[in-house]
Amino acid sequence: MEEYPEELRTPPVALVSLVGCPEHHQAISGYLHSQQPPINVLALPDFSKVPVVLSKKVKDSGSGDPPSGILKRDWLLKHRTKVPALMAALFSSLDISGDPTQWLQVCSDLENLKAAIRPRNVKLVLVVVLQSTSADDINEDRMIALKKRAEVDSKYLLMYTPNDVSELKLSLNRLGNAFSELASVHYREEGRRIRTKVEKRGYNFPELHMRYCFKVAIYAEFRRDWNEALKFYEEAYRILREIVGTSTRLPPIQRLVEIKSVAEQLQFKISTLLLHGGKVMEAVQWFCQYNVAYKRLVGAPQVPYLHWEWMSRQFLVFAELLETSSATMQSISSLVVGGTDRTLTEWEFRPAYYYQLAANYLKKKQSSLEISLSMTDNSSEADSSIDSVVPSIYVGQFARSLGQGDELFMHPLTDEQYVQYTLAERKRFQDSYEIIALLKKAYESYSSLKAQRMSSTCGLKIAKEYFSLDDYANTKQLCDGIITLYRQEGWVALIWEVLGYLKECSRKLGAVKSFIEYSLEMAALPVHPDTNITFLGFVESGPTGPPSLQQREHIQKEVMELIGKDSGDGLSVEKSTDLRLSEKNPLNLEIDFVSPLRTVLLASVAFHEQMIKPGVSTLITLSLLSQLPLSIEIDQIDLQFNQSHCNFSITNKEKYASTTMFSSVEQSQRMEIASSLILTTNRWLRLTYEIKSEQSGKLECVLIIVKLGPHFSIICRAESPASMADLPLWKFEDRAETFPTKDPALALTGQKGTQIEEPEPLVDLALGATGPALVGESFMVPVTVMAKGHDVYSGELKINLVDVRGGGLFSPRETEASFLDGHHVELLSIAGAEWEDKSQGSDSNINRIQQSFGLISVPTVKNGETWSCELEIKWHRPKPIMLFVSLGYFSQESDPTSQKINIHKSLQIEGKIAVMINHRIMLPFRQDPLLLSMVKPPEADQLVSLPLGESNVLIVSARNCTEVPIRVESLSIETDSSSPSTSCCIKPGSGPGSPGFTLLVAEEEFKKIFTVKAEVDSTPLSLGIVCLRWRRDPGSHDPSTRTIVTTKHKLPDVNVEVPPLIVSLVCPPYAVLGDPFTYFVKIQNQTPLLQELKVSLSDSQSFLMSGTHSGTVFVLPKSEHIMSYKVIPLSSGTQQLPKYSFTSTRYSAGFQPSVAASTIFVFPSEPRFKGVNDRGKNLESVATI
Amino acid sequence: MIVCVAIVGHQNNPLYIQSFTEGDDALKLHHVVHCSLDVVDERVNNPKKSGPMLNETYLGLLYPTENYKVYGYLTNTKVKFILVTTDLDIKDADVRNFFRKFHAAYVDAVSNPFHVPGKKITSKTFAERISTIVKAFGLSSAG
């Protein structure tokens, strides 16, 4: 587009001319320029310049001769820059109102001006420049005279006031309006004048018709009448189409060139107008028609390049137009939908499409130019004559300018001269860069539209251009990008083409590795031997020729020769290039799971078993597959495993014989010899060997290194048959697919790795704990290691205590909590007699014990021996735990390669509380002190009250809560060291305390009685702590093996009170039927006050009774009052004595003895006891229970 | 005249591509067919909102190159049929008709129990049938 002159590219702008008063021109032209639409200004300083500018050549109006061209080259420029639409004559008001000489000068200037503008029909405007702000000094008569002389309408006689800012603005505005109005009038008149010519058909030549149409359209554009402009451009275009075949004015080649040049301008105008009017659809359709109409006009066979160049330019210009207007365009898809007919497609609205075609035509031009140049290579003598060829005054014409003196004559050219001229011109340009630039635009545009296939095609074309320019690095880079898409989608023919370029570039760049890679990939492409007949029609199939089986074989041979596998048959690569492999630069080709070279060599490895025992051999099958067209003989295959000692090599029998020296270097590695290692097309080469490993864990085949020739090897990643991806490209082919292994099941499930089990431990680990553990005791868990087949070297015993409730593990929170208040369960120590003996002096032995974890080393245990230790665990809380013990050891001494063997054992142990201690305090029998604190309603947490100075009974009982029999060693009460020891006196009662120990079985209770006598009235009184010393019943074992545990139980504090009254009942321990006895009620007043008591006694049916039944008793201070009753039992058995009750008036406290206290056993007759002494004692003991 | 027909699979891989030119532009036709997949993608991803195009298998004119016109057809199984022709004005109905026959032939070919889905169609019968359809199309459009 840039090559068009500016007046063609931009819409026409009206031109006005200013003359006179040059000091104001700047202001006026600046204002007019900024107007919308702008007006260009041609400023003439004085009136003498006017005739020069407006001079008009005298045209021969005779219509006899045909015009020598269609459009004049500079006509439009003339109207844009030279011929104004109106002339504005500026006169100073001083001149007008001045003396007669000044006035005369004004008049003569005006006359001259009128004369000059008349032939051009230029409008006239008079501007009077007011020199002072007041308008008074203007001579009215002179003004009228001026108007008359100028023959202008009064509205075109304008005042211009430069001195006042507001007035200046107004006058500028006036000027602008008047100018644009008059300019429009001028252009309309001019247009109409020529239009009349068109309509009257006052000419005989279509060239003139066209020229007039063009002019009308330009005039219409001047006044922004786009529709009319478009109409006349189209009209001109139509006429041009008519004269294509008919005109004979010029020699044929130049004639066509002229027509095309004019058509180009017209089409440019039309397209611009359509696109700027938003009619994208119409513009594209128009361009399509235009393209169709002119595409075939190739012209003379000598100059096809002119046509292609011209076509290319058309597309380029349209692409650029479309691109500039696409910013304002609405979305393409809506355009396509909007179109009723579907003759236009999406791409036709994209500039990329046109750029691409422009490049295509330019390419055509390049090739046809080459042909033309080669044909006329010897005609260099004509150079001198074409030096002077210049564009002539008509659009699309060229002529020789012959200088004769000062004047230049244009001399028409013959076609031969013209052809020579064009050839010489075009020779100077390098089209390839232009083509690349165009394609790059298309490429980027398509890429941004995500049309990757289109952009790939463009990219490939760019690459080809670079290739033709010998820019191999760029070619390779582009092709590498493109081929990915083609590989992905499996377009074999396209891959072949791109690979061909890549291969050649690598060859030219001397890149051996990539050359071999690309060659091998090409050779392994699925080009069908039977269907390739149709493929044979390739012309531009890259530097390698069309894809065929022969080509593939040829390429493979080339590579084999390069790597030294083949002797070569004359088509040596090395001769032509510097590609060479030697000992110094060997080549390793790597093939991974996604490499396109998997078609060249696919290595699959399958272990026949998924899990094997250490040291037991299993089978491994290596399968190789190649799609190369010719068989390859492999020299050696190395298999590499993750356990490097398993690596081994497979070598060809013949090669092995010839290269024994070579292989003797690596004697340490296993070497297998195969009878033949020939890899044929699409047939698995299966090799099965035994393999074994001592080391447990994963054994996996990692790499397969296939050596071909002395300096070349292919490193393949091993693939599992079970998870092998399909071969790229070949997966779409209809080929015979076989399994990589003979066993189809293995082909479906086979893995490249296998799991080697850990060696079987031949050692027993026993945890010998029985029963639950008791809280407080040191629970011993014996651990025994028995070697039954292995010696145990550097054994390590790991002990873990884990909370069962935490799912086998301590949760962090639990751990934290147990750290805060000490561990609930603790591993105290590990006691192993033997170990302690042996480990003396050896610091290396590990012995670490934490609260829940222990690690100790186990000494060497020979086969058949045992070693044991004991874990001492203490429970602080009742809690079940899991004990994990694991032993890791080596079965051989000082063999670093041998495997560590592990054995694990676990045991759940309950922790239980052994004994529950209870106590009870009882007042003396049948003696009831009045404790005032008991009278009040009971409160929570009220302490038990004890009467001062009385002997109370304390019963402490310990119950075995477990199933484990325990031995109670002793039960005692220790007084708190803090409280004064004299405050109370606790003495063991005369219970059944046995001298040694008491065995307690499950749920059995042990009791001991104490007498408590409070001696000091101190509140509260601490009674002390019960200490129970017990141990687990050792049974028949030595009791010293069980530690004694002391369980402590604190007795609650008590109140000590001085009772004001004590009532005691005195009666014999038993009675005999009919035998009278006396029973006393003793009331003791311990206060220094007189106590009044109401007494009442209720009768009992079992007794006959004498004495007062009710009454009031007064007890003197610090004295005793005794009431006696004589009773006779009337019935035998346990009987209720007559009940009495007291009410103390001072303390308003009533008293009634308990049922137990007022019960007596009545024998039917005098009982016979063995000893009189024993009698009372026995009875008492019965009563206490 | 039809110069090339092609069947393109799910992964945009060619399943069958056959050119009918005496000349030497088979590779160019490969490029043309491959590029036309971009348009198919765009048509499929931006379906027309209006009209009866909703369940339409016929994609219409995909794009014009300098010398060819490319038409497309998309089956329910997302297999694409591409037709490249040199006829510049050609009736839509003819193309539709051609694609219908083409589709029928394809269905028959893949119904062959020995055909593995997703692989290239190598059946000779299919190739013959296609060339018959192509010839018939040439006759009908010429007449």
Assess whether the previous peptide bond of A721 is cis (omega < 30° from 0).
no
A1173/B contact by beta carbon, under 8 A: no
Q: What was the pLDDT predicted at A273?
A: 87
Which residue range(s) make up the domain with B30? 2-142
**Contact residues on chain A for B118, CB-CB shorter than 8 A:** 731-732
Determine the straight-line distance between the first and last CA of chain B, rounded to whole angstroms.
12
For an interface test with B, the pick among A454, A483, A544 (most B C-beta atoms closer than 10 Å) comes out as A454
Quick: pLDDT tens for B106-135.
999 999 898 888 888 888 899 999 999 998
Question: Between the CA of residue A792 and those of A760, A866, A891, B12, what are the distances in Å?
Answer: 13, 10, 6, 65
**Contact residues on chain A for B30, CB-CB shorter than 8 A:** 491, 493-494
Go through chain B and tell me how many residues it has: 143
Measured in whole angstroms, how far is the alpha carbon of residue A18 from the centre of its chain? 70
Q: What was the pLDDT predicted at A896?
A: 62
The reply to whether A1-58+65-208 and A764-908 are identical in fold is: no
Give how many domains chain B has, as a whole number.
1
Q: What was the pLDDT predicted at A66?
A: 67
Q: What was the pLDDT predicted at A977?
A: 61
- The answer to whether B37 contacts A453, with C-beta atoms less than 8 Å apart, is yes
Of A496-510, A561-575, A707-721, the range with the lowest mean pLDDT is: A561-575
Measured in whole angstroms, how far is the alpha carbon of residue A362 from the centre of its chain? 46
Residue B104 clears pLDDT 90, i.e. is over it? yes
- The H or E element spanning position B69 is strand B69-74
What are the tokens at A510?
Answer: 């001397």
Percent of chain A with pLDDT over 90: 3
Long-range contacts: A694-697, Cβ < 8 Å, 24+?
A694/A614, A694/A615, A694/A897, A694/A898, A694/A899, A695/A614, A695/A643, A695/A645, A695/A756, A695/A897, A695/A899, A696/A614, A696/A756, A696/A757, A696/A758, A696/A759, A696/A899, A697/A643, A697/A755, A697/A756
Quick: pLDDT tens for A373-432.
887 765 555 556 666 777 777 887 887 777 665 666 777 778 778 888 888 888 777 788
- The structural domains of chain A, with segments of one domain joined by +, span 1-58+65-208, 470-576, 589-756, 764-908, 915-1057, 1061-1184
Q: What was the pLDDT predicted at B102?
A: 93
- The answer to whether B24 contacts A534, with C-beta atoms less than 8 Å apart, is no
- The answer to whether A535 contacts B26, with C-beta atoms less than 8 Å apart, is yes
CATH for the stretch A1061-1184: 2.60.40.10
Q: How near does any CA of chain B get to the CA of A246, in Å?
A: 27
Q: Which of these, A309, A265, A257, lies nearest to A413 by C-alpha position?
A: A257
Choice between A278 and A996, residue whose per-residue pLDDT is larger: A278
What average pLDDT does the segment A801-811 reach? 60
For an interface test with A, the pick among B11, B35, B40, B128 (most A C-beta atoms closer than 10 Å) comes out as B35
Q: What was the pLDDT predicted at A976?
A: 65
Residue A63 clears pLDDT 60, i.e. is over it? no
- Average of per-residue pLDDT values in chain B: 83
CATH for the stretch A1-58+65-208: 3.40.50.2300
Q: Which of these, A450, A511, A526, lies nearest to A480 by C-alpha position?
A: A511
Q: How near does any CA of chain A get to the CA of B47, in Å?
A: 10
Beta strand pairing status for A866-875 and A712-717?
A: unpaired
- The answer to whether B118 contacts A732, with C-beta atoms less than 8 Å apart, is yes
A734/B contact by beta carbon, under 8 A: yes
Beta strand pairing status for A611-612 and A618-625?
A: unpaired
Residue A894 clears pLDDT 90, i.e. is over it? no
Contact at 8 Å (CB) between A751 and A852? Answer: no
DSSP A232-294: HHHHHHHHHHHHTTT--SS-HHHHHHHHHHHHHHHHHHHHHHHHHTT-HHHHHHHHHHHHHHH
Residue linked to tokens 């252009």: A187
Residue A849: which residues within 8 A CB-CB, separation 6 or more? A827, A829, A830, A855, A856
A544/B contact by beta carbon, under 8 A: no
Q: How near does any CA of chain A get to the CA of B54, in Å?
A: 14
CATH for the stretch A915-1057: 2.60.40.10
Q: What was the pLDDT predicted at A57?
A: 58
Residue linked to tokens 């250490």: A614
Counting beta carbons within 10 angstroms of the beta carbon of residue A714, is it exposed (0 to 12), middle (13 to 18) or buried (19 or more)? buried
Choice between A823 and A454, residue whose per-residue pLDDT is larger: A454
- The answer to whether B27 contacts A493, with C-beta atoms less than 8 Å apart, is yes
Contact at 8 Å (CB) between A779 and A801? Answer: no
Residue A254 clears pLDDT 80, i.e. is over it? yes
Of A985-999, B2-16, B29-43, the range with the lowest mean pLDDT is: A985-999
Percent of chain A with pLDDT over 70: 83
One-letter amino acid of A1006? F
- The answer to whether B11 contacts A537, with C-beta atoms less than 8 Å apart, is no
B53/A contact by beta carbon, under 8 A: no
Contact at 8 Å (CB) between A799 and A876? Answer: no
B11/A contact by beta carbon, under 8 A: yes
Residue B39 clears pLDDT 80, i.e. is over it? yes
Of A879-893, A939-953, A1068-1082, A1113-1127, the range with the lowest mean pLDDT is: A939-953
State the Cα torsion A263-A267-A269-A274 to the nearest 10°.
160
**Contact residues on chain A for B15, CB-CB shorter than 8 A:** 732
Q: What was the pLDDT predicted at B58?
A: 83
Quick: pLDDT tens for A316-344.
998 888 888 765 555 554 555 444 445 56
Contact at 8 Å (CB) between A794 and A890? Answer: yes
- The answer to whether A345 contacts B63, with C-beta atoms less than 8 Å apart, is yes
Q: What was the pLDDT predicted at A821?
A: 47
Least CB-CB distance to B34: which of A357, A494, A734? A494
What are the tokens at A1027?
Answer: 């200490």
| Interface contacts A/B by beta carbons within 8 Å | 95
B79/A contact by beta carbon, under 8 A: no
**Contact residues on chain B for A292, CB-CB shorter than 8 A:** 88
Question: Between the CA of residue A464 and those of A264, A505, A831, B22, B31, what are the distances in Å?
Answer: 30, 11, 86, 25, 14
The confidence band for A541, taking pLDDT boundaries of 50, 70 and 90, is low
Beta strand pairing status for A1091-1097 and A1140-1144?
A: antiparallel
Q: What was the pLDDT predicted at A202?
A: 65
> How far apart are alpha carbons A967 and A1028 in whole angstroms?
10
What are the tokens at A1114?
Answer: 């007064």
- The answer to whether B26 contacts A538, with C-beta atoms less than 8 Å apart, is yes
Q: What was the pLDDT predicted at A145?
A: 82
Most confident range, picked from A93-107, A950-964, B6-20: B6-20
Q: What was the pLDDT predicted at B6?
A: 93
Measured in whole angstroms, how far is the alpha carbon of residue A1091 from the centre of its chain? 97
Of A170-179, A610-619, A770-779, the range with the lowest mean pLDDT is: A770-779
CATH match of A589-756 with 2.60.40.10: yes
Q: What was the pLDDT predicted at A724?
A: 82
The single-letter DSSP state of residue A61 is -
> How far apart are alpha carbons A171 and A158 in whole angstroms?
8
Contact at 8 Å (CB) between A256 and A420? Answer: no
> How far apart are alpha carbons A1023 and A1012 in whole angstroms?
9
One-letter amino acid of A990? S
Question: Between the CA of residue A829 and those of A111, A782, A882, A886, A1041, what are the distances in Å?
Answer: 134, 12, 17, 17, 16
> How far apart are alpha carbons A867 and A320 in whole angstroms?
95
What average pLDDT does the segment A53-76 reach? 67
Quick: pLDDT tens for A1015-1071.
777 667 777 888 888 888 776 666 666 778 888 888 888 878 888 888 888 888 888
CATH label of the domain that carries residue B108:
3.30.450.70
Q: What was the pLDDT predicted at A997?
A: 72
Contact at 8 Å (CB) between A729 and A526? Answer: yes
Contact at 8 Å (CB) between B103 and B121? Answer: no
Most confident range, picked from A64-68, A71-75, A282-286, A415-419: A282-286
State the Cα torsion A639-A643-A644-A650 to the nearest 10°.
-20
Choice between A568 and A1006, residue whose per-residue pLDDT is larger: A1006
What average pLDDT does the segment A60-80 reach? 71
> How far apart are alpha carbons A670 and B42 in whole angstroms?
59
Q: What was the pLDDT predicted at B128?
A: 92
Residue A61 clears pLDDT 50, i.e. is over it? no
What are the tokens at A943?
Answer: 């302490």
Q: What was the pLDDT predicted at B110?
A: 92
DSSP A225-237: -HHHHHHHHHHHH
Residue A937: which residues within 8 A CB-CB, separation 6 or more? none
Nearest CA in chain B to A539: B24
Residue B8: which residues within 8 A CB-CB, separation 6 or more? B14, B15, B33, B37, B79, B80, B81, B82
Of A527-541, A565-579, A688-702, A1125-1139, the range with the lowest mean pLDDT is: A527-541
Strand partners, A801: A883
- Fold adopted by A764-908: Immunoglobulin-like (2.60.40)
> How far apart are alpha carbons A438 and A447 in whole angstroms?
14
**Contact residues on chain B for A343, CB-CB shorter than 8 A:** 61
Counting beta carbons within 10 angstroms of the beta carbon of residue A90, is it exposed (0 to 12), middle (13 to 18) or buried (19 or more)? buried
Residue B82 clears pLDDT 90, i.e. is over it? yes
Q: What was the pLDDT predicted at A407?
A: 64
Q: What was the pLDDT predicted at A1051?
A: 82
> How far apart are alpha carbons A1019 and A1022 in whole angstroms?
9
Determine the straight-line distance between the first and last CA of chain A, rounded to whole angstroms.
127
- The answer to whether B63 contacts A348, with C-beta atoms less than 8 Å apart, is yes
For an interface test with B, the pick among A491, A494, A536 (most B C-beta atoms closer than 10 Å) comes out as A491
Q: What was the pLDDT predicted at A947?
A: 79
The helix-helix angle for A100-117 and A140-150 (nearest 10°) equals: 20
Quick: pLDDT tens for A551-606.
888 888 888 888 876 655 444 444 555 677 777 778 888 888 888 888 889 899 99
Residue A617 clears pLDDT 70, i.e. is over it? yes
